[in-house]
Structure 1
Amino acid sequence: MLCDAFQTDLLAARDLRQTQIDGALAVGRPWVGSLCLALPGEEKTPPGALDLFAWGRHLLEVAMPGFEPLQEQIDPLGSWLLVSAKTDALSAKRIGIALENRHPAARLFDFDIYLPRSGPLSRASLGMDERPCLLCRRAARNCIRLKRHHPEEVVRAAHALIACFRNSSPGRLSD
């Protein structure tokens, strides 16, 4: 169970990220993207997580014309990148989903596109299924909400994916 102080830090970090997203959209950008690692548990930067995040950032930079990092930080939620680019929002979302499917550990990436008036662009808007659970392949959102799995099981699965990355070619290239 998360202690109150840690939960407060997580909520404050989430609020700050949202403020930065809102600020980036307020200056007239057609969209902004947010890349983070969706890591369960209290440890948001376990060994290998920073390398995995750097690899994902690099792949986005290569894939997106006019890639422009707007904010990059490590906060209580972990690594986070706010980005814009010269591509349209739907293409950017497709690039992000392709990134999430690039390597088993890339399932830990969460790349969201935010639009000025309508909020986040969903996978459903592209006719795609929701993100799968790390353990059972059902919709992750439902598994979290229904508490289908013991939290430590999910943490172990995420850490195993990071270890898989560290032992693979992309992971060794990021050293």
Structure 2
Amino acid sequence: MSRETAEASCMRLALEDVLKAREARARLQQQWLGQYGQTMVSVTLVWPGEIKDTPLARRVMAEANEAINQSLLKHRWPVTRHETDFLCTGPEARWSISSPAWMIKHVMAHLEDNHPLGRLWDIDVFCPTSGLLKRSAIHQPMRRCFICHEPAHVCSRMRRHSQNELAQVIEDLTYDYFSGQH
């Protein structure tokens, strides 16, 4: 077990904590876009519930980091800076990359859709001039709910699935993935 995984806080959070973390992340994203003037990739986890920093969440983020780094290397896209933070509000990672945002968005959407853990990753790609690139900008469909396959944002907004139901799906998905590794 890595040091990062061993030190997970496992703290219960209030909605206010999550909202403050979202605001801080947005400020940091703007800072990076201004400082580097390059495409930025920002990753968080789709991790329902009031405990966001767990050993399992950290393992899932480590897999996201590995998959994204491998994709960037494969495409020979130069990374100016990469950071991962393990916060009580959940792990976050970001990259500043000297390549066109739309190309990177295609590859990141492919990772979200095709990696066995990709459904648990929320990978945002920002263009230094036009901001957040949505899937529709690259003619990709919206993400689907991993329980009922309806548009994910609708299920999330309507709280269509219980925390227990979501937790069970995540537990099954991660168990299948990590038990299959050697």
TM-score range, shorter chain: 0.7 to 0.9
- Do the aligned residues in 1 keep the contact of 2:53 with 2:87 (CA within 8 Å)? no
Matches of 1:23 and 1:55, distance apart in 2: 26
When residues 101 and 168 of structure 1 are mapped into structure 2, their CA distance, relative to the original with a 3 A threshold, is farther
Identity %: 25
- Do the aligned residues in 1 keep the contact of 2:58 with 2:86 (CA within 8 Å)? no
Cα shift readout 1:116-137 (whole Å, capped 9, x = no counterpart): 3433101111111111101101
Query: Is the partner of 1:61 in helix, strand or coil?
Result: helix
2:47 maps to 1:35 = no
| Residue 14 (structure 1) aligned to one of 7, 22, 28 | 22
Q: Which amino acid aligns with 2:86?
A: I
Cα shift readout 1:96-117 (whole Å, capped 9, x = no counterpart): 1122133332210111012234
2:115 maps to 1:103 = yes
- Do the aligned residues in 2 keep the contact of 1:32 with 1:83 (CA within 8 Å)? yes
TM-score computed with the length of structure 2 as normaliser: 0.82
2:91 maps to 1:79 = yes
The one of the two structures with greater contact order (alpha-carbon pairs below 8 A, sep at least 6) is 1
Q: Which amino acid aligns with 1:63?
A: S
Q: Which amino acid aligns with 1:101?
A: D
- Do the aligned residues in 2 keep the contact of 1:52 with 1:165 (CA within 8 Å)? no
Matches of 1:108 and 1:97, distance apart in 2: 12
RMSD of equivalent CA atoms: 2.0
Cα shift readout 1:25-84 (whole Å, capped 9, x = no counterpart): 112513211012111112223443222211221221122121243432012331111111
The total of aligned residue pairs comes to 167
Aligned residue for 1:156?
168
Matches of 2:100 and 2:129, distance apart in 1: 15
| Residue 153 (structure 2) aligned to one of 136, 141, 161 | 141
- Do the aligned residues in 2 keep the contact of 1:40 with 1:158 (CA within 8 Å)? no
Aligned residue for 1:60?
68
When residues 103 and 76 of structure 1 are mapped into structure 2, their CA distance, relative to the original with a 3 A threshold, is same
2:99 maps to 1:91 = no
Q: List, as ranges, runs of 4+ consecutive aligned residues in structure 1 with deviation greater than 2 Å.
A: 45-49, 67-71, 101-105, 115-119
- Do the aligned residues in 2 keep the contact of 1:70 with 1:81 (CA within 8 Å)? yes
Q: Which amino acid aligns with 2:23?
A: D
Gaps of 5+ in 2: 1-11
Gaps of 5+ in 1: none
Aligned residue for 1:51?
59
